[in-house]
Amino acid sequence: MDEPRRPAPSPARSDAPEPGVRLPPLLLDDVARVLAEVAGMSLRDGLDPRLVDGLDDAARASGLALRVFARQVVARDPRAIEALVEHVVVSETAFWRHPEQLAAVGRIAAAAVRPLAIWSAGCATGEEPYSVAIALLEAGRAGRGDRILATDVSARALDTARKAGYGVRPLRRLPHDVAGRWMEGIAGASDLRVCREARALVTFARHNLVGEEPPPAGPFDVVLCRNVLIYFDGSTAAEVLRRLVAALAPGGRLVLGPFELPLGEAAGLRAVDEGGATLLAAPGR
- Evaluate if residue 2 carries a pLDDT over 70: no
CB 129 within 8 A of CB 157: no
Of the candidates 122, 147, 141, 111, which has an alpha carbon nearest to the alpha carbon of residue 219? 147
Tens-digit pLDDT profile for residues 104-158? 999 999 999 999 999 999 999 999 999 999 999 999 999 999 999 999 988 889 9
Amino acid at 35: L
**Tell me, what's the pLDDT at 21?**
52
> Residue 92's pLDDT band (boundaries 50, 70, 90)?
low
Lowest mean per-residue pLDDT among 6-10, 115-119, 174-178: 6-10
Give the whole-number percent of the chain exceeding pLDDT 70. Answer: 85
* Residue/partner pairs of 234-241 with CB below 8 Å, 24 or more apart: 236/36, 236/40, 236/210, 237/40, 237/263, 238/263, 238/267, 239/210, 240/40, 240/209, 240/210, 241/267
The pLDDT tens digits of the residues spanning 234-270 come to 888 888 999 999 999 999 999 998 888 888 888 778 8
The DSSP H or E segment spanning 31 is: helix 25-39
Residues forming CATH 3.40.50.150 domain(s) in the chain = 99-281
Mean pLDDT for the chain? 84
CATH architecture of 99-281: 3-Layer(aba) Sandwich (3.40)
